[in-house]
Structure 1
Amino acid sequence: MDPSTHKLYHEEGFDSRQFLEHYLSENSAMAYREDSLKFPIQSLTKTFSEGLIKGDILIDLSVGSMVHHLYAACEFFKHLIVMKVSDRCIMELKRWVDERTGAFDWGHAAKCHVDMEGKSCQSEDKEQKVRSALHHVVKCDLKKENMVDPIVLPPADCIISAWFLDVICKDQDDYMRYLRKFSGLLKPGGHIILIGSLDATYYTVGKHKFYHFIYDEDFARKALAREGFIIDCCKTKKRVIMDHLIDYKAIIFIVAHKEM
């Protein structure tokens, strides 16, 4: 699909609250609960509980102002650094961090995490742990070599990128270029965790359709290998419920580490 036929996330932006309501809310009618909430939460909880991915710094490069993917990570990293391309997403996220009136309620995601960990009475503690570990929310410019210039970030032990490459890439060259930039933020031996939607061409926020880079599992695997990553885990979840908001066929979860 031609990127010019739809809006581009990082160039035109979207309503961050509507995005959350469409794809990540606690609404029982929300069609993506299994794919966008439960599958990533389950996969991340299992990955981090194995104890092989941990350290001082985790950098998050994910779409919108989501935080549910950070609940599992907060137990294993001292500092969480979140990078966003949009002021609107930064404001939405900081509203939650600062516990301000009108913040998006992530209680359903916290409960899902602690239920999987067998600690169902500790969902509020989990939210506070994320808030305490989330030391920096910084704006990034994808056009710059150092995306957070003039800030210089220390090398990270791990990067999580959930659906971000899907929405900022126009083609395979873009994907490789941004993956290389992400790799530059990692220590040798550091890990990258990618979550994305396979074979999608668009997604909808409000009344607007946005461009989605179309790719499959084989491309994602080869892209990581070309950038010097060794894949530790790769799994997909086939889409079951169909609707008009987005046309993906499956969700992919990949864990890889950077060669020393």
Structure 2
Amino acid sequence: MDSTTHTFYPVHGLDSRNHLDTYFSNKEGMVFAYDILKFPMANLHYQFSRGRVVGTFAIDISLGSFIHHLYSASNSFKEIVILRLKEQCIMELRRWVHDRTGAYDWSHTSSAAAELAGTRDQLQEQEIRLRSSVKHVLKFDFEQGNITSPVLLPLADCIVSVWLLEMISKNEDEYTRNLEKILKLLKPGGHLLLIGVLDATYGVVGEERIHCLKCNEEFVKNAFGKVGLVIDYYAMQKRSNVSDLSDYKAMLFIVGRKGE
């Protein structure tokens, strides 16, 4: 692989199972386990468990095929629709949601979710609740007026987006436009909970070095303001380990409320 060549996720996609094995598994050597697994789960649990974000219908529009960030959402929302850009990721997620043979093993994260909820003896219930909450796993396309066409979704009370915008945007203007497209799915007064990376230019999956738009804290906050989101909460986790898998400096968690 030429270290100067970056693939672009919307065009080239990624190997979804390799992505999970590299960043999300329970094997030894997961150098970003705290940043990628614990930080999102803890912050989302904090928001949902305190009734800061409420409703009945939530949308998850994120990168890849991970599900660990949605346990706490399934405690608060009866219906969740997952949106993904690539068919391979959709197939991987449907395999888990329908508990099919060969589905990815997320038991290490269901145990973490149970611990956060104070129900360590109810590990299986975490996965059962999440599976029953996910009503659809659908493809989205930002080139369409209705990005979930031909399906027309109701507006969501809450949208969760994890590590997506920086991977599908080539520049800051495109990031802001893509953020606006996501907000078309959100009710006035609803909340966007976004997890992203700061100051990253790439992430490695297998032999591919995948483009990441370099964003800093000021830019993300300004982008929220430009699209009419009032920031209710912000947290940052500095990079906890050294690895050539990615050059990000920190993880961010930001909650924005859409104007009425």
Provide TM-score, normalisation by structure 2: 0.97
**What do residues 27-62 of structure 1 show as CA deviations (whole Å, max 9, x unaligned)?**
131111100000111111111011121212101011
**1:175 aligned counterpart, secondary structure:** helix
1:246, 1:145 → 2: CA distance? 33
2:62, 2:122 → 1: CA distance? 25
Contact 2:239–2:251 under 8 Å retained in 1: yes
1:171, 1:103 → 2: CA distance? 35
Q: How does 1:147-158 map to 2 (within 5 A)?
A: 147-158=147-158
**2:74 aligned counterpart, secondary structure:** helix
Amino acid corresponding to residue 110 of structure 1 in structure 2: S
Corresponding residue of 1:14 = 14
Corresponding residue of 2:116 = 116
Deviation (angstroms), 1:133: 0.5
Corresponding residue of 2:166 = 166
Corresponding residue of 1:218 = 218
Contact 2:199–2:216 under 8 Å retained in 1: yes
Corresponding residue of 2:140 = 140
Of all paired residues, the percent bearing the same amino acid is 42
Q: How many residues align?
A: 257
Contact 2:34–2:240 under 8 Å retained in 1: no
Corresponding residue of 1:232 = 232
Deviation (angstroms), 1:143: 1.2
Amino acid corresponding to residue 52 of structure 1 in structure 2: R
Deviation (angstroms), 1:140: 1.1
2:193, 2:247 → 1: CA distance? 23
1:141, 1:240 → 2: CA distance? 34
Q: Which runs of 5+ in 1 are unaligned?
A: none
Contact 2:32–2:240 under 8 Å retained in 1: no
Q: Which runs of 5+ in 2 are unaligned?
A: none
Q: Which moved more, 1:48-57 or 1:224-233?
A: 48-57
**What do residues 185-205 of structure 1 show as CA deviations (whole Å, max 9, x unaligned)?**
110000000001100000011
Deviation (angstroms), 1:142: 1.9
Amino acid corresponding to residue 74 of structure 1 in structure 2: S
Corresponding residue of 1:81 = 81
> Is 1:182 equivalent to 2:182 in the alignment?
yes
Deviation (angstroms), 1:147: 0.8
> Is 1:61 equivalent to 2:46 in the alignment?
no
Alpha carbon RMSD of aligned pairs, Å?
1.0
2:94, 2:246 → 1: CA distance? 27
2:240, 2:79 → 1: CA distance? 36
Runs of 4+ in 1 over 6 A off after TM superposition: none
Deviation (angstroms), 1:98: 1.4
Amino acid corresponding to residue 142 of structure 2 in structure 1: L
Q: How does 1:44-59 map to 2 (within 5 A)?
A: 44-59=44-59
Deviation (angstroms), 1:123: 1.3
Amino acid corresponding to residue 258 of structure 2 in structure 1: K
Deviation (angstroms), 1:23: 0.9
Amino acid corresponding to residue 229 of structure 1 in structure 2: L
**What do residues 89-141 of structure 1 show as CA deviations (whole Å, max 9, x unaligned)?**
01101111111121110111111111111110111101000100100111111
Corresponding residue of 2:198 = 198
Deviation (angstroms), 1:240: 2.1
Deviation (angstroms), 1:5: 3.4
Corresponding residue of 1:41 = 41
**2:182 aligned counterpart, secondary structure:** helix
Deviation (angstroms), 1:221: 0.5
Corresponding residue of 1:127 = 127
